[in-house]
Amino acid sequence: MDDDVRRPGTVVPIRDRAPSRPIRKDEIVISERGLYVESWLPERRSRRRPLLMVHGQLAGSWVWHRFQEHFAQRGWEGHALNLRAHYWSDVADLAEPTFESYLDDV
């Protein structure tokens, strides 16, 4: 049996699918806050609202790379924000980090 033949009803893994749309990746720093943001943008934007992805503790925007690429290939604009003192964002005084301080970042 040929390796390229799949049984009917099987799902083709995402990595085997051709991208449906070209994408562009941008990186910006929100200077007044020192926050690093990675954006994945489809070449042709849709009317869909953009996605905002925020990481959890001990992580950064990098955790969203596969998701960002997946959604951008399907026409979604996405932005992955790095909270203060995470990944490439500026280090802040985190003597007493609070939920509200992270909420201010968003």
- For residues 37 and 81, the answer to whether their CB atoms sit within 8 Å is yes
The count of structural domains within the chain is: 1
Question: Furthest-apart CA pair in the chain: how many Å?
Answer: 62
Domain, as residue range, for 62? 16-89+101-105
In a domain, 4, yes or no: no
* 106 has a pLDDT exceeding 70: yes
Candidate ranges 25-29, 68-72, 82-86, 102-106; pick with highest mean pLDDT: 68-72
pLDDT digits (tens, 9 = 90+) for 54-91: 988 888 888 999 999 999 988 999 999 888 777 667 67
Nearest to 96 by CA among 82, 87, 84: 84
The model carries a pTM of 0.69
In a domain, 11, yes or no: no
In a domain, 7, yes or no: no
In a domain, 64, yes or no: yes
Check residue 81 and give its pLDDT: 87
CATH number at residue 43: 3.40.50.1820
